[in-house]
Amino acid sequence: MGINFFNFWEQIKLLTSYSIQSPWLLTDYTFLFVLGFFLLFYAFITENIKWRNIYILAFSLFFYYKSSGLFLLVLIGIIIFDFLIVKFIDKQSGFKKKIYFYLALLYNLSFLFFFKYSITLIATFNAYLGTSFNTNDWLFPIGVTFYIFQSISYLVDVYRKEIEPVKKITDFAFYMTFFPHIIAGPVIRAKDFLHQLYSPTIVNSSIYKEGMIRITMGLIKKLLIADSLGSYVNIIHESPVDFTGFETLISYYAFSFQLFFDLSGYADVAIGVALLLGFRIKENFDRPYLSKNISEFWKKWHISISNWFKDYVYIPLGGSKGKLVWSYGIILLVMLMGGILHGIDKRFIFLGLAHGAAIITHRIWIRLVKTNSQNKIYSLIGIFITFHFVSFCWIFLRANSFSDAVKSLSKVITNTNYLDLFSFSKDHIQLIMLLIISGCIVFIPNKLKSYLNIQIMRLPTYIWLFILLIILQVIIQFGNEIFSPFIYLQF
Amino acid sequence: MKNNKFIFFSALSLLIPLTLIFTYNNQENSITIAGITFNKIESQDPFNILNKLTKIKIIKDKVVKEINDIKLPSKEDSLKIVAKKDSINLCNIDTIKFEQFISDNSEERILIMGDSECGGLCRQLNDYCVQNGHKLVLSFVWNSATILNFAYADTVTKIIKKYKPTYIFLVVGLNELYAKDISKRKTAAMTLAKKLEGIRYSWIGPANYVKDHGINNVFLSSAAPGSFFSSKDLNLPKGSDNRHPNTEGYKIWMDTIASWVTTSARFPITMNKPVKRKQEIKSKIISLNASRYRGY
């Protein structure tokens, strides 16, 4: 096995300690190996719901410790406080209830603001006041946005009497820390998930196969395709002035696919792992690049976060029920909030506003122009425009600065020689092949996708041992030698 | 019971393939079928990482004692030999005179640092160190980094201060082959060269996969005369990404570097070819990624 038995306990000690340079992610081979042992013991306790939940909770806490170290204590603090305050709020009424609700909301949001924006604010402080506070060594917990959003959704749902508060703190902790989703979402709603804690585990042949398919596809998308595309994108952004308009344009498509495969791949692994445990997490991506308009895109991209903003910001502020101007204003505000969720930077502000403006434009368009949404040509044009709009906007997420993004865009728009395609293809045959494969996966027709799914599900159960072995080795064989971190970890 | 069966099967579906992969990674030999060598994933292998980290703890006390005992050579201690002509053809420059600084130390404390190519070279360098009685004190791999990172981050200074190498191998340039901002890179290269003053080093240029726009000449003119080794014309076997050399490529590369360092470098050290390859790396490897940590 390669383990030196003389150092066995030393190695166990090291395996159980946190390493800042290699935080655990669901796509780590080390984690998957440990997950195998976890499942081995899980198989024997799954009949007892109470012990099952405690076992998963313990592993989830351990997983978060391996991902974020002592920030686990922050998470535990948030869990304890929110559990107690929500129970307390549920017993209150009238004005008192409102006050405590807003205080609890402020408490949760303060963590989010601190971890996300303190460095930017201190840098601004330093710049304008001449101070020199050093934040170079500051670290922040991974996944803080997702579990704060989750906590807020629970708080609001209980406040609105949509759900009852959870009786046991261990159940609430389970909901908050469930390891498949804690690092990178999807954001799970309590009403969709909590009932599963009290239901018996069901993992039959089709659930097992579905789980394995999701994990395998997720690993291929993230470790093989996204990371490989990322290496080209990184080269371009290392020194953007050195590349032609055409090379930069190709990097836009590459980054679009990289971002989608990175996020959806990780979500696939999360959903697959949850399935193997007998739990079901909702889909987070629904073929977003096949959207015919920008409004549809935001119903299909990072669905859990989009729905969160819709249910907890857009609708409470009036949504589409108020006057038109107010409604458009709220759309801009919500999209702006989505932008600055990535950080306080001109790039992200512009990204949010651009998408907000696009949604408003689309709404005005459908009010003024009667279109036949069933028309295939109209649909194709819509998909083409939406995909390109989104891809060109993503540059503001990837570029090193706002000015770099603007320069890059203007180069692509004004200075691209499409005839470069032939020489570019000759020199970058692997990249072109990868882009074509990515395009096929992203734009595959629904009927073909369903057909392939059915055929894969028909494979015998035992074959998955070999499939995973082959896929894992193929990833090692052809995957990028430079491991690209999960994109959203930086946000 | 039905649940148990499929959950148990899920466990095996993960454990069996990963155990096979990790076991293969721990073997010295590689498997080749129909001309295709199955790659290994040292970085992903928990046992290799754990072994390395375990060894650090075991040798920690020994290293601390050695740091206290070591007497670092100064420039005055070195013997100076007047230049050899035409001894640096590999650098593609004409005859140039420089002084070779030969240390009286037989055992060097070697630090290798650089971009991802350093990650491949350090394993080969380890074999040379074991063969020649040198100590590879640290391998500092900064993936995706360029000369700008090394020049302007204080990481290099901190590492030199902590590990006190007597010899440094610097491997950089792969991520800036396309760079055209030559003056900016030149300034950075000069800054780094200044940081390395007082330490004996060899600056290894990238194994080009495309023609560069001048970065190799920047390094050549910035490094101390005779201390830059140009790798751009070495036709090394490449890995699946067509950028980095493969294992065989790194071996050939290191052999070429070693031959040059022994005979022609400004700062020569003994680097006889190792009898045994793939020796266990007992020293620490620090791995960073410039896309996450820029350093300045």
> Which candidate, A207, A205, A263, A290, places its Cα nearest to that of A25?
A263
Q: Chain A within 8 Å of B12 (Cβ-Cβ)?
A: yes
Residues of chain A contacting B177 with CB distance shorter than 8 Å? none
**H-run or E-run covering B110:** strand B109-114
**In the predicted model, what is the mean pLDDT of chain B?**
77
Concatenating the DSSP letter of every residue in B196-209 gives: TTTSEEEEEPP--S
Burial class (CB in 10 A: 0-12, 13-18, 19+), A409: middle
Say which amino acid occupies A286.
D
pLDDT tens readout for residues B90-149? 333 334 456 666 665 578 899 999 998 998 899 899 999 999 999 999 999 888 889 999
Mean pLDDT of B215-228: 91
Check CB contact under 8 Å for B46 and A15.
yes
The alpha carbon of residue B226 is apart from the nearest alpha carbon of chain A, in Å, by: 29
Encoded amino acid at B139, one letter: S
- State which residue of chain A sits closest to B55, comparing Cα positions: A7
Collect all residues of chain A within an 8 Å Cβ-Cβ radius of residue B13: 36, 212, 464-465, 468
The alpha carbon dihedral of A322, A325, A331, A334 has a sign of negative
Identify the band that residue B46 occupies on the pLDDT scale cut at 50, 70 and 90: very low
Region at A354 (left for phi over 0; alpha for psi -120 to 50; beta for the rest):
alpha
Q: Which residue among A2, A430, A489 sits closest to B22, beta carbon to beta carbon? A: A2
What's the pLDDT at B192?
Answer: 93
A165 three-state secondary structure:
coil
**Minimal-distance CA residue of chain B relative to A39:** B11
Size of interface A-B (CB pairs under 8 A): 185
> DSSP letters along B226-275, please?
T-EE--TT--PPB-TTSSSB-HHHHHHHHHHHHHHHHHT-SS----PPPS
- Residues constituting chain B: 296
Q: Of A295, A231, A239, nearest to A262 (Cα)?
A: A231
Residues in chain B closer than 8 A to A11 (CB atoms): 47, 50-51, 54
Contact A29 B44 (CB under 8 A): yes
How far from the centroid of its chain's Cα atoms is residue A8's Cα? 36
- The catalytic site residues of A sit at 342
CA closest to B26 among chain A residues: A2
Task: Determine which of B5, B9, B10, B37 to mutate to test the interface with A (most A C-beta atoms within 10 Å).
Answer: B10
pLDDT by residue, tens only, chain A of 491 residues: 233 334 566 667 767 788 766 778 898 888 999 999 999 999 999 989 999 999 999 999 999 999 888 889 999 999 999 999 999 999 998 999 999 999 999 999 998 888 888 777 777 777 677 766 666 556 678 888 899 999 999 999 999 999 999 999 999 999 999 999 998 888 999 989 999 999 998 999 899 999 999 999 999 999 889 988 887 887 777 667 767 888 899 999 999 999 999 999 999 999 999 999 999 999 999 999 999 999 999 999 999 999 999 999 999 988 888 788 899 999 999 999 999 988 888 899 999 999 999 999 999 998 888 766 678 888 999 999 999 999 999 999 988 889 889 989 988 988 888 888 887 887 778 888 899 999 999 998 888 988 998 898 888 888 888 899 999 888 888 764 444 445 555 55
Which chain B residue shows the shortest CA-CA distance from A228?
Answer: B241
Contact A472, B21 (CB under 8 A): yes
Tell me how many degrees the CA angle B29-B30-B33 measures, rounded to the nearest 5.
Answer: 140
In angstroms, the CA A27 to CA A265 distance is 9
| Its pTM surpasses 0.80 | no
The candidate with the shortest Cα–Cα distance to A97, out of A89, A105, A107, is A89
Question: Which residues on adjacent β-strands are paired with residue B140?
Answer: B113, B286
Structure tokens at A255: 């980054």
Measured from the Cβ of residue B97, the count of other Cβ atoms closer than 10 Å reads 10
pLDDT reported for residue B239 = 79
Q: Pairing between strand B167-171 and B100-102?
A: unpaired
- Residue A160 has a CB neighbour count (10 Å cut-off) of 11
> How high is the ipTM of this complex?
0.86
Residue listed under structure tokens 């991974």:
A142
* Least Cα separation, residue B14 to chain A (angstroms): 5
Best residue in A47, A238, A400 for a mutation probing chain B (most B CBs within 10 Å): A238
- What's the rounded Cα separation, in Å, for the pair A274 and A142? 20
The DSSP string of A18-78 is --TTS---TT-HHHHHHHHHHHHHHHHHTTSHHHHHHHHHHHHHHHHHHHHGGGHHHHHHH
pLDDT of residue A310: 93
**Residue B68 binned pLDDT confidence (cut-offs 50, 70, 90):** very low
**Strands annotated E in B115-199:** 135-143, 167-171
Chain B residues with CB-CB distance to A277 below 8 A? 7
Residue A438 buriedness (CB in 10 A; 0-12 / 13-18 / 19+): buried
Place of tokens 């700008």: B148
Q: DSSP state, A223?
A: I
pLDDT of residue B212: 87
- The minimal CB distance from B26 to the residues A2, A10, A276 is found for A2
Q: Which of B44, B141, B182, B238 to mutate to test the interface with A (most CBs of A within 10 A)?
A: B44
Q: What integer pLDDT is reported at residue B106 of this predicted model?
A: 72
Facing residues of B284 across strands?
Answer: B138
Of B2, B40, B47, nearest to A204 by CB-CB distance is B2
Q: What is the DSSP letter of A184?
A: T
% of chain B beyond a pLDDT of 70:
77
Q: Residue B198: pLDDT above 50?
A: yes
Q: Please tell me which residue of chain A has the smallest CA distance to B241.
A: A480
| B22/A contact by beta carbon, under 8 A | yes
Contact assessment for residue A358 and residue A382, using Cβ atoms and an 8 Å cutoff: no
How far does Cα A250 stand from its chain's mean position?
A: 24
